[in-house]
Structure 1
Amino acid sequence: MFTNDIIIIGSGIAALQTAIESSKVKNVRIITKSKLRDSNSYLAQGGVAAAFSDKDSPALHGKDTVDAGRYYNDLAAVNSLVEKGPDAIRQLIEDGMCFDKDESGNISLGMEGAHSVRRILHFNGDATGKGIINHLLNKLSSSNVNISECETAIELLVNKSGHCVGVMTVNENGQYMHYFARHVVLATGGCGALYEYSSNSQNATGDGIALAIRAGAVVRDMEFIQFHPTLLFSHGRASGLISEAVRGEGAILVNACGMKIMEGQHVLKDLAPRHVVSQTIFSHLEIGDRVYLDISMIKDFEVRFPSIATYCKDSGIDLTKGKIPVAPGSHFLMGGISTDTKGRTSIPGLYAVGEVSCSGLHGANRLASNSLLEGLVYGKELGHYLSSLNDSLQTIDLDFVDSREDLSLHLPNESEIKKMMMRYVGIVRDEKGLRTIKDWLERYDLSSLLYIRLQGLSPEQCKVVLMLINAWIITEAALLRTESRGGHFRSDFPFENDYKWRNRTISFTKNHLISTKKGTALYEQAEAKTNAGSFFY
């Protein structure tokens, strides 16, 4: 007996938008590992992109998206986003969302890297994610939605027919819970916190991706990780995002001598695509040259960017000097669980939406401020799809598979994984470094980690197991893609190889590595083969 129609794991914009739309007709349970507002979406500063002015168009937004993605994007996914994006923004405004306006009372549109026109909407300067999350929470219907906070999903429950029927969680007190539903949605975000330097919430270690691959789902494009160029660098560590909107308002990257480091690097200079800016900053840091964001030309910086100003002051940065020390850090995952534009994965009953998913939308590098739009558009699409399904016609067996082994584990600590990932699978990669971390990862019996029982492990052990799985997949994918494209830069293969790699993906299941032509509907293949009794063997 199902106690829920739909379970949504996560509480960011994609999760809440899916819940709002699907709860109109179905019972929904939201499960989040921390509090509702503890998500990457809530931390998002830069804004949300949409073709919202008469100088812009969905076609132009789509072109910028594909240019930033290094022509690796799925065009159907891109077109879906840019065509539906303006309506998604208008709906927010009609529902009472207040975006920033100019002196004439018109919505202000900002500029960010790799955009050809101003199209970025903001809330309260640099608190856009916070504003949208609070708006969506106010819209969430309490009558059809139950919320479980501080519960961590540690296992997807898959029945003997290969259908996802629920999730196992563990709460703060170490109690295990089983929740069952006809549909399970992963909206757990990305894996930025796998790295030592990251703009992400510390909860963003890729749980959903590792859970999905353990359950048998297809995961793809994990080598493509975007490193945000400008994290605040203070007291020997990089943390706290300095939004790209700051450069959009005229800030310039300089070294300790005041030299403009982006001169001659790209035609867009300081507003070049993020991988170009990140790699340029990294090259200076590697030789001991500090890099700063010169904000001296921005009038009333503390008014325009109040959250950033507060964070800088709290970190001991004197803004009157007009320079903020910066360094790159992991920011966004372009890869994830393979889905179509409806959010369907290769496992019947399992869906993914937002950063945890990979429809091919972002290609090899996400265009700035497309992520919040993705959550709004695709969350609504998935919610509408789920609410339209006639579940009364479907009979699903609840006899789920639970034959995993109990093993004694030798595991590294969380900080070791983060340091190794930053050093060897970070902004600049090569075969020697990737093989070094691969050898290190393989000390921990990775093949067993895909099958062991997590119930009975401590929450920290569960977290480390899932982190190791994600680290391994990213490393393997980075080794296999022998070119540089977007968020994946190989110093030993520094150029794009369109002939070999532009139209091929690197995908994984727990049993097999798949290399396939880009655009192949893996979720359909997998569903068919699962139903036939085999799965990419």
Structure 2
Amino acid sequence: MMKCDVLIVGSGIAALQLAKHLMRDYHVRIITKSLKTHSNSYLAQGGIAAPLAPDDSIILHVQDTLNAGRFTQHEDSVYSFIKEGKNAIEQLIAEGAPFDTDPKGQLLLGMEGAHQSRRIVHCGGDQTGKQIIDFLLQQVFPYVEWLENEFVYDLIVDETTHRCIGVKSISHDGTIQKMYAEHVVFATGGVGGIYEFSSNDPTVVGDGLAIAYRHGVAVADVEFIQFHPTLFYKDGKAKGLISEAVRGEGARLVNDCGYYFMEGIHPLKELAPRHVVAQAIFDEMRKGRNVYLDISRVSYFEQKFPTISQFCEKQGISISSGKIPVAPGCHFIMGGIVTDSVGRTTLPHFYAIGEVAFSGVHGANRLASNSLLEGLVFGRRLASWIKSDRSSLSATPNTEKNWPTAELKPSFPIKDEIRKLNMERVGIVRHQQALNEHVRWLEQFHLSYWLTHSLDQMEKEDIQTLFMLVTSYLISQGAIKRRESRGGHFRSDFPLEDERWRQKTIMQQMNDYGWGKQHECIEIEAYA
């Protein structure tokens, strides 16, 4: 029997930060469905936000975070998040993290959209995610157990104690394994892989959300999807991220008529909140126009953005031309598995941190460069809570929950069809008719049936497709329910923010018979 103290699913910044603070006191096992560097954290270009400049402050960073999130967050939660985030960055600096500095050794602080101050720290220009993950891996790797290419597809729940005691996984050779732990943590990332255009690692398709929902764990606000304004776009395909930092250094958005269209849309122009910029680009493209980043005003572009420069050259776009073709694509989900302030969910001994979690700090739209900060803060918070937990329940099952054997054979669509329809119907611009049509299309695949039956006999590819369909369904239902536009959720039939919805959270929770109730308003509290 494979047992450990803490089992972490995922290998991004939240997972590594948690492992770092537990590894010397606990047997920690990290499981990842691909390689350890295949995470959204590793791909992050923009940097990490923290109020480190003399003319900046925690209060200003809080204000920017609340404004970007359209004021759906609790201010106290955001304040503690930013305060702890600043401390986490200062700790990384003290440990020797490779943040960029000027010749005098002072931190180079960048500007990004919706920030009042220069507060973005970078590593290697546009290689922040890679270099920070490599830095944490050096600290963590020798002290934890790693399982790569291991696909976690289910939780193990003890029916006697009603607590999570482990996971089921499929190895690269098709072997099913059961792994038990005192504490099971999902740090599985977001949902970008369910959309046609995405900045995410292609393995990130919402597994964590679907698995949690299957076990009656509450999920919330999943309709809030951030579409990054500037993905590299060529031949009808989005192929990689062009960091917000490029606009922070002076790049402007221009259509193929030579019109700088952000001029009349928002006072911050190219540095407006991401949902504003993404919708503006989407509108231009719907009119049949191409959109470019004009980088002619960015000095020393290749030195500041070496990764982007090399990528563009490989794609046949010369940086010397001064223009990079772009389009918006799925980047980040603000909602997720409902957690309290340390990462506990509605299922005892099951936790969620990072992008997969609905921690409440991002609201309706995440502020640029707050994502890696979230991983650092909540990874450390959960580690502190686990260290203080004095429960000594065994992770050996008394009565393990058994699912009925499925009699149906799965007949699912191809993944590219799911991605295409998600982009069209529950993407940047949404409408009741298209959303209803999408839900009807999803329901024909008997999702409720598969959620309430054993997955042990299913092929790995079918399970992954099922999770994509379930996640798509949850997002669609949330988008139907929220009859307003706010942040990362835009309804063309309800195009304005509605104050009555500001403090409403759409929570979805499954019962034993399939799709569960949807609650418009719920207070998020700590769960024992």
> In the alignment, is the contact (CA less than 8 A) between 1:8 and 1:31 conserved in 2?
yes
Look up the equivalent residue of 2:424 and give its one-letter code: R
Which residue is 1:535 aligned to? none
**What is the identity, as a one-letter code, of the residue corresponding to 2:155?**
L
Matched, 1:444 2:461: no
Cα distance in 2 for partners of 1:395, 1:413 equals: 38
Distance change >3 Å, CA 95–CA 169, structure 1 → 2: same
Give 2:378's aligned residue.
378
Task: Work out whether residues 334 and 365 of structure 1, in 8 Å CA contact, stay in contact via their aligned partners in 2.
Answer: yes
In 1: Cα distance, 2:523 partner to 2:118 partner: 31
After TM superposition, give the deviation of residue 453 of structure 1 in Å: 1.6
Task: Out of 249-258 and 79-88, give the one that drifted further.
Answer: 79-88
Aligned position for 1:498 = 499
Structure 2 residue aligned with 1:187: 187
Q: How does 1:307-318 map to 2 (within 5 A)?
A: 307-318=307-318
Whole-Å Cα distance in 2 between the matches of residues 132 and 77 of structure 1? 25
Tell me, what secondary structure is at the counterpart of 2:179? strand
User: SS of the counterpart of 2:261?
Assistant: coil
Alignment of 1:135-534 (within 5 A): 135-140=135-140, 142-143=142-143, 145-160=144-159, 161-392=161-392, 397-406=397-406, 407-499=408-500, 501-511=501-511, 512-521=516-525, 524=527
Mapped to 1, the partners of 2:490 and 2:404 lie a distance apart of: 37
How many angstroms apart in 1 are the aligned matches of 2:140 and 2:321? 44
Greater shift, 386-395 or 85-94, is seen at 386-395
Structure 2: tracts of 5 or more residues without a match = none
Please say if residues 483 and 489 of structure 1, whose CA atoms lie closer than 8 Å, have aligned partners that are also in contact: yes
User: Is residue 217–residue 347 contact of structure 1 (8 Å, CA) maintained in 2?
Assistant: yes
Q: 2:50 — aligned with what?
A: 50
**Maintained 8 Å contact 1:30/1:147:** yes
Secondary structure of the corresponding residue to residue 97 of structure 2: coil
Aligned residue runs from structure 1 range 47-196, under 5 A: 47-140=47-140, 142-143=142-143, 145-160=144-159, 161-196=161-196
Structure 1 unmatched runs, 5+: 528-537
Q: How far apart are the structure 1 equivalents of 2:339 and 2:233?
A: 36
Contact 1:126-1:306 within 8 A present in 2 as well: yes
Deviation of 1:359 (Å):
1.4
CA separation of 1:453 and 1:419: change in aligned 2, threshold 3 A: same
Three-state SS of the structure 1 residue aligned to 2:110 is coil
Cα distance in 2, alignment partners of residues 32 and 454 from structure 1: 19
Contact 1:23–1:141 under 8 Å retained in 2? no
User: 1:87 Cα shift?
Assistant: 1.1
Does the 8 Å contact 1:29/1:148 carry over to 2?
A: yes
Distance 2:62 2:465 in 1: 38
- Cα deviations across residues 75-128 of structure 1 (Å, max 9, x unaligned)? 333122111111101111111102001233210000000000000000000000
Q: Is the 8 A contact 1:508 1:514 kept in 2?
A: yes
- 1:456 Cα deviation from its structure 2 partner: 2.1
Deviations 1:272-302 (A, max 9, x none): 0000000000000001011000001111211
Distance 1:76 1:28 in 2: 32
Rounded to whole Å, the distance in 2 between the matches of 1:312 and 1:215 is 44
Letter in 2 for 1:218: A
- SS of the residue corresponding to residue 427 of structure 1 reads coil
Contact map agreement 1:23 1:387 (CA 8 A) in 2: no
Alpha carbons 1:206, 1:467 under 8 Å: kept: yes
Instruction: Output the CA distance in 2 between the equivalents of 1:158 and 1:317.
Output: 52
**Which one-letter code corresponds to 2:322 in the other structure?**
G
Output the amino acid matched with 1:441.
L
2: CA distance, partners of 1:393 / 1:466: 31
Whole-angstrom CA distance in 1 between matches of 2:304 and 2:425: 37
Which shows bigger deviation, 362-371 or 76-85?
Answer: 76-85
Aligned length: 522
In 1, distance between residues paired with 2:2 and 2:37? 28
Counterparts in 2 of 1:216 and 1:301: CA distance versus 1, 3 Å: same
Partner of 1:3, secondary structure, is: strand
Q: Deviations over 1:232-262 (max 9, x none)?
A: 0012101200000000000000000211110
TM normalised by structure 1 equals 0.95
CA 1:97–1:57 in structure 2 vs 1: closer, same or farther (change >3 Å)? same
CA distance in 1, matches of 2:398, 2:180: 8
Answer whether contact 1:77 1:359 (CA < 8 A) is retained: no
TM-score by length of 2: 0.97
Give the whole-Å Cα distance in 1 for the aligned partners of 2:194 and 2:395: 39
User: Contact 2:218 / 2:509 at 8 angstroms: preserved in 1?
Assistant: yes
Shift of 1:24: 2.5
CA distance in structure 2 between the aligned counterparts of 1:503 and 1:479, rounded to whole angstroms = 17
Structure 1 contact 253–260 (Cα < 8 Å) conserved: yes
Q: How many Å separate the matches in 1 of 2:362 and 2:262?
A: 24
